[in-house]
Every structure is written in C-alpha cells, then in structure tokens.
Chain A
Amino acid sequence: MPTQKPPQSNAQTPRQEGKWEQWRQRWDRIASNRRILPVLLAAGFVLSILIPRFNLVNPYIQLILMYVGINIILCTSLNLINGYMGEFSVGHAGFMAVGAYVSAVLTTMFIPTALNPWLFPLIVVVAGLATGLVGLVVAIPSFKTRGDYLAIVTLAFNMIVKSVIENIEAIGGPRGIPGIEKLTTLPWTFFWTVLAIWVIRNFVYSNFGRGVLSIREDEIASDLMSVNTRQAKLLAFTISSFFAGIAGALFAHLLQFISPRVFDIIKSTDVLIMVYLGGIGSITGSILGATIFTVLLEVLRPLGVWRMVLMPLVLVLLMLFRPRGIMGLREFRWLIPHYQLLAAHLWRKKKEATDAPAAS
C-alpha cells in the first residue's frame, strides 16, 4: 500500500511556504516515530476508564465518543468489502441487526441480570460469531454475482432481516426490545474499536488481504495468479459481518432499545457515507470518515431537518473533488505493520552484504 504522503502545499508566498515546510517536517518526524503509538493507545485506554469514572466530560460527549467507536467498527468492517475488495455491499445494517438482536435477546431473556456485566464481553463475541455465520451463509450464494447484482442481494438481505424480525413476536416484533441494560461502556468501546481496527488491518496486510485487494484490481487475473478468489471473498465477508455484529451488540447495549426500524436502509446508507467520506481501501480513512460523520451529525443537530440536506451536499462535493474519499487507497504509516515496511529494506541490506564480497 502506498504510504501517506504529506499534502501538497498550496501556499502562494515563499514566506508561507517556509512555515508550511516547517510544519510538514515536524509532522513527518511524528509520523515516522512509531514508538508513540503504544503510548497513545495506553493513554487512550486509561483515559477511557478515567473519563466515565470522574465525569471528565459531560455524559452527552461520552455518548458521542461511544458512537464514534461503534461507527469506526462499522465503517472499517464495511470498508473491507466496499473498499478493499471493491464490491458494493449495501446491507451492513442487516448484519448489525443480527448482532444487536442476538446480544439483546441473550441479556434480556436468557442470562440473569446479575451476571450480565461479567458476561458482556462473551455476549459480544457470541453476537459477532452468530453474525459472522449469517454473513457466511449470505456470502455463499451472493458472491456468485458481482457489482450491481451483489448490491441488490445485500439490499434484499437487509430488508429480509428487518421483516423477519418484525414478524417474530418472541423478540418483540415491530415493537422491538425495550429495557436493555446499558452495558456498553467507554473502556469496552475503546477496546473493541482498537481490536477491530487491529484485526482488520492485520488481515489486510496478510496473504489473504492481498488476495482480497487483487480481486478489486482484477478478479480474473487474480484467479489466474493462484488466488482462491472464492475463499478470499467468503473470508472477507465473514470477517466484515463478524465486526458488524460486534458493533450491533455494542450499539444495542448503548441505545438500550432496539427495534427493526433502527436497522433499515438508512442506517446502511450512513455506514456507506462514512466509508466513501473517509476513503475506500484505507483504515485511516475509515477512522476519519466515521469520526467526522458522527461528530458532524451532532454538531449540525441544531439545524434540524437541514442537516439532512447539508450532509448529502458535503458528500456530493467530496465526490466531485476527491472521488476516492479523504484518504482513498492511502494509509497513515502507523497503521501499516512495521515488518511490512521493513521487508524490502532488510532484503536490500542482505543483498548488499552478499554482493559486496563478490565485488571486491
């Protein structure tokens, strides 16, 4: 993957350019120092524990922070399909619904309330696994189609999930499940967000991830270069739905009320907007896209209905001037595994070492 390049300078006067250059160098130094990353992660985790404990920021902002986390998980997982694999899946809310309902049914109906906080991580994993399984079942027939057809299949899936839930009285039907315990906390959101980013990044920078990328570039060539395209697609789709399920479970236990209506096409569209806003085929883009979208939606809340005009407008402008999104196909260096960056460097050193005696 191409690493992030510093933005081009648009400065008019030389004086400004000098200043810009200075900032650029400073930024480059920070970006190339990977040792800051674990420190930042640890600090983030500690902060996520301290914030709710001592109410460092008001509960409303805490809530938004948790939504940001959940949306990052959703966005990164959908980016795996729409960005990295280059397919067009539009039913992500359907998978989210599966995760949300599985977890909510478990916590409200099966597991004693006293045990819920202790078992919550396990419940989230179960919700994820169940969704992953559903994803696999959906993927097997739908990946016989491509492009527009896959979009229609996933769209239909989203509708099917919604209608199925609406028609099962045992889980509340169209009324949904009220009174879900609030189990999603800031530390847990932080943990799952980091885990999702880490796992998906690891997947992308592996043999299977490269297979997925090559499918986006040229599926036939990829198949002819020994990539088991079917396996790679199923794998990516399963992982994507696994994390959609996890996001769904966190979402249900944050909102404390879920109904089929929450998981309609609009919700899927929201995730799509985040993906294309942040940038296709980029983890950095997913994080940015989800954060900007969530925060912007809250900031624009005073505008009322008008924000529904403003958001699409932002998207239209973005597509006109930056069709691949903010970070399309580019990655911030910290998010690329270190030894992937080193591979070529180490090989060159080794080669120089072996070539040198031969030359002298």
Chain B
Amino acid sequence: MPLLQAKQVTHYFGGLCAVSDFNLDLAAGELIGIIGPNGAGKTTIFNLITGVYRATRGSISMNGVELVGKTPNQITQLGIARTFQNIRLFKELSVLDNVRIANYSRLNYTPLEAMLHVGRYRSEEKRVAEKALDLLSVFRLDGWAEERAANLPYGSQRRLEIVRALATGPQLLLLDEPAAGMNPNEIMQLMDFIHWIRDQFKLTIILIEHQMRLVMGICERIKVLDFGATIAEGLPEEIRNNPKVLEAYLGEGGEE
C-alpha cells in the first residue's frame, strides 16, 4: 500500500482551477520533487494534503486513511509535517517553545492539571522539554533554546522550521521551497542535509522547488505542474529533456 495516495485531486478557487486531476502514489522512503513555474499550483497541493484547503474533488489518503475533510491538526497527527515557502515560525516565542508546540497533541495532561500544575503536569513538561532540547541539539540549535525565534539568522530559522516539523513526529515531510534565498554553496549543503534527515528520521519527502539544481540533484522522481495540470512525470533525466517541460519553463520556441 502506498504511504500517500492522491486520486484525481481537483481544487478550484472560485472559477479558477488551481489544481486539476492530480494523482500521486508515494511509497515509503521515496524522495520526490514537484516543480513548475510560478502559480502552477505547487503550494496549493501541499495545502490540500495538509488540510489547509479542502479539495473540491478527489481523494487523498495516508496509510489508507482519508485526509479530505480532516482539520490540519488531525492530519499532522497522522504523520504529515510541512515547512513553509516564507518562514512561518512563531516569531515572538522562544526556539524551545517553537519545538514544544509541535508536541501539542502528544502531551498527556488535562487542562485542569495544567491550570493547577498538579498531576502529570511536571513529569510531562519535563519530558517534552528534554525531547525538544534533544532534537534541537541534533541540529545544533540548543544553544539558542531561550532566544526568540525572530532573532535567529535566516539559515537557522529555516533549519528551525524543519526541526519544528520533525518534532511533530512525521512519516511524510513536505518541504516548500527550502532553498529559497540560498546561494549555490548553501544549496549543496542543503542537499546533504535533506538526505541526512531522510535517513536519520526514516522519512518520505516531497519537495517543492524552483532551484533546478536541487531538484535534479536529489529527487528520485519528479512531477512537473503547469497551470494546475501535471504535464510530465518521471526520472530527473527524462524531465530534463522533456519538450513540454522546457516549453513551460522557457516559453515556446525557447532555446536549450
């Protein structure tokens, strides 16, 4: 059974078709890329998978559980985590709190215990703080634990966003343009980094990206979108030479 399966997912914004008949079969452990020009509907697909938007038509299932109609937090609890195109950290909160919040659904105490600070409150808080700090230390962010997230340098903020996503305990990680604003050198590092987290946390990854270098470099399979429709799918080499893809990216009659 595939880990994630999307069947004929279609989404309209008013009369505009943002995504049409999107199909995906994702096996556990795969690393695939979704590319396409601006406005092709890439981020919309992430929003549909994670429940931010509700698909107009079609079905998405994770391990056989239907996702359409579930709220984002329920979907996250099923094991899907994501990062954002433009960093969306909880800026005024500490780095530690950013990671602890991702454990929201896995803390076992009631509101009453929280309000009176009795019962499981202390042991659970201790557990989540240690867990969060352990995870932060893996990414060498533990030194910043008490710092406001907004004060971190750009690269660390991007890293923290991935850490926060990992803290939800995902099987599937959706990375939305992780290389945005990075130079070629940093992109090389990012490629290693993505491989490393995949092996370390046994993840399946879907990557949205503009940077061809990154996508071609690490993705095992690539889907190309244009105006919401899937125009090509296959191995990186196949995509590189696909005339339809070149047309979408460079325009008709574009030179190679």
Chain A positions within 8 Å of B, measured between CB atoms, are 1-2, 199, 202-203, 206-211, 213-214, 216-218, 220-230, 235, 239, 281, 329, 337, 339-340, 343-344, 347-348, 350-351
Per the bound structure, the CA–CA distance linking A342 and B96 in Å amounts to 13
Per the bound structure, the CA–CA distance linking A201 and B109 in Å amounts to 17
A1's contact among B94, B106, B107, by CB below 8 Å, is which? B94
Please report which residues of chain B, range 80-116, place their CB below 8 angstroms from some CB of chain A when the two chains form the complex: 81-82, 84, 88-94, 96-97, 100-107, 109, 111, 114-116
Residues of A within 8 A of B125 (CB): 206-207, 339-340, 343
Number of contacting residues on B, CB 8 A? 52
Per the bound structure, the CA–CA distance linking A303 and B184 in Å amounts to 68
Chain B residue nearest to A3 (CB atoms) is B146
Q: Is the CB of B71 within 8 A of A223?
A: yes
Q: Is the CB of B90 within 8 A of A209?
A: no
Chain B residue nearest to A228 (CB atoms) is B73
* Minimum distance in angstroms from B128 CB to a CB of chain A: 7
B93's contact among A213, A227, A230, by CB below 8 Å, is which? A213
Main SS class of interface, B: helix
B137's contact among A226, A227, A351, by CB below 8 Å, is which? A351
Residues of B within 8 A of A224 (CB): 50, 52, 72-73, 76, 81-82
Q: Is the CB of A199 within 8 A of B115?
A: yes
Question: Closest 4 A-B residue pairs measured CB to CB?
Answer: A206-B114, A217-B90, A343-B129, A223-B72
Q: Is the CB of A210 within 8 A of B97?
A: yes
Q: Which of B71, B93, B115 has the most CB of A within 10 A?
A: B115
9 contacts between A and B (CB under 8 A): A207-B107, A210-B97, A223-B73, A224-B82, A226-B76, A227-B73, A343-B125, A350-B130, A351-B137
Chain B residue nearest to A340 (CB atoms) is B125
Residues of A within 8 A of B72 (CB): 220, 223-224
Residues of A within 8 A of B73 (CB): 223-229
Chain A residue nearest to B46 (CB atoms) is A224
Residues of A within 8 A of B88 (CB): 218, 220-221
Q: Is the CB of B128 within 8 A of A207?
A: yes
Q: Is the CB of B126 within 8 A of A343?
A: yes
Q: Which of B50, B77, B117 has the most CB of A within 10 A?
A: B117
0/1 string, B170-188, CB within 8 A of A gives 1: 0000000000000000000
Determine if B145 is an interface residue (Cβ-Cβ < 8 Å): yes
Determine if B122 is an interface residue (Cβ-Cβ < 8 Å): yes
If the complex has contacts A339-B125, A344-B96, are A213 and B90 also in contact, measured as CB distance less than 8 A? yes
Determine if B225 is an interface residue (Cβ-Cβ < 8 Å): no
B109's contact among A207, A281, A329, by CB below 8 Å, is which? A207
* Minimum distance in angstroms from A191 CB to a CB of chain B: 15
A228's contact among B105, B128, B134, by CB below 8 Å, is which? B105
Q: Is the CB of B115 within 8 A of A221?
A: no
A217's contact among B92, B109, B129, by CB below 8 Å, is which? B92
Q: Is the CB of A203 within 8 A of B115?
A: yes
Determine if B198 is an interface residue (Cβ-Cβ < 8 Å): no
* Minimum distance in angstroms from A128 CB to a CB of chain B: 13
